[in-house]
Amino acid sequence: MKHLLMFIFIAAMAAGGCRNSGSSKTEEIIIFHAGSLSVPFKQLADAYEKKNPGVRILRESAGSLVCARKITELKKPCDIIASADYFVIDELLIPEYTSWSIRFATNEIVIAFQEKSKYSAEIDSVNWMDILLRNDVTFSRSDPDSDPCGYRTVLTFRLAEKYYDKPGLADELISKNRDFIRPKEVDLVALIESNAVDYMFQYKSVAVQHNLKYIKLPDEINLSDPAKNNIYKSVSIDVAGSSPGSKITVMGDYINYSLSILRDALNNEAAIAFVSFLLSREGLEIIRKNGQEPIIPLIADYPEYIPGKLREYLTIK
30-76 pLDDT, tens digit each = 999 999 999 999 999 999 999 999 999 999 999 999 999 999 999 99
pLDDT at 6 over 70: no
C-alpha 26/C-alpha 7 separation (Å) is: 23
Question: Is residue 103, in this structure, part of any structural domain at all?
Answer: yes
How many domains, in total, are found in the chain?
2
Is residue 311 classed as helix, strand or coil in its secondary structure? helix
Domain end (from 240, 265, 294): 240
Q: Are residues 103 and 130 in the same domain?
A: no
Q: Are residues 235 and 278 in the same domain?
A: no
Q: Are residues 123 and 199 in the same domain?
A: yes
Question: Is residue 10, in this structure, part of any structural domain at all?
Answer: no
**Average pLDDT score over residue span 206-211:** 96
**Average pLDDT score over residue span 142-169:** 96
Helix 268-278 and helix 281-289: axis angle, to 10°? 60
Mean pLDDT check: name the lowest of 5-9, 27-31, 151-155, 288-292.
5-9
Q: Are residues 79 and 101 in the same domain?
A: yes
Q: Are residues 261 and 206 in the same domain?
A: no
Question: Is residue 190, in this structure, part of any structural domain at all?
Answer: yes
What's the gap between Cα 307 and its chain centre?
Answer: 23
Using an 8 Å Cβ cutoff, are 71 and 262 in contact?
yes
Output phi, psi for 234, to 5 deg. -80, -5
Amino acid at 101: S
Question: Is residue 251, in this structure, part of any structural domain at all?
Answer: no
C-alpha 225/C-alpha 262 separation (Å) is: 29
What's the gap between Cα 55 and its chain centre?
Answer: 23
Domain end (from 215, 240, 265): 240
Question: Is residue 85, in this structure, part of any structural domain at all?
Answer: yes
Which domain, by its residues, includes 73? 27-107+256-315
Q: Are residues 114 and 235 in the same domain?
A: yes
pLDDT at 172: 98
Q: Are residues 93 and 59 in the same domain?
A: yes
Question: Is residue 278, in this structure, part of any structural domain at all?
Answer: yes
Sign of CA pseudo-dihedral 86, 87, 92, 94: positive
Q: How confident is the model over 13-33, as pLDDT tens digits?
A: 444 444 444 445 689 999 999
Q: Are residues 264 and 234 in the same domain?
A: no
Using an 8 Å Cβ cutoff, are 206 and 110 in contact?
no
Q: Are residues 102 and 133 in the same domain?
A: no
Of 285, 270, 275, which is closest to residue 314 (Cα–Cα)? 275
Domain end (from 240, 265, 292): 240
The H-assigned helical ranges of 63-210 are 64-72, 86-92, 128-132, 148-163, 169-175, 187-193, 204-209
CATH code for the domain in which residue 55 is found: 3.40.190.10
What's the gap between Cα 147 and its chain centre?
Answer: 8
C-alpha 251/C-alpha 233 separation (Å) is: 6
pTM for the model stands at: 0.88
Question: Is residue 289, in this structure, part of any structural domain at all?
Answer: yes
Question: Is residue 209, in this structure, part of any structural domain at all?
Answer: yes
- CA count, 13 A, side-chain hemisphere, 244: 2
Q: Are residues 268 and 192 in the same domain?
A: no
C-alpha 148/C-alpha 87 separation (Å) is: 9
pLDDT at 255: 97
Helix 281-289 and helix 38-51: axis angle, to 10°? 150
Q: Are residues 180 and 86 in the same domain?
A: no
Q: Are residues 129 and 161 in the same domain?
A: yes
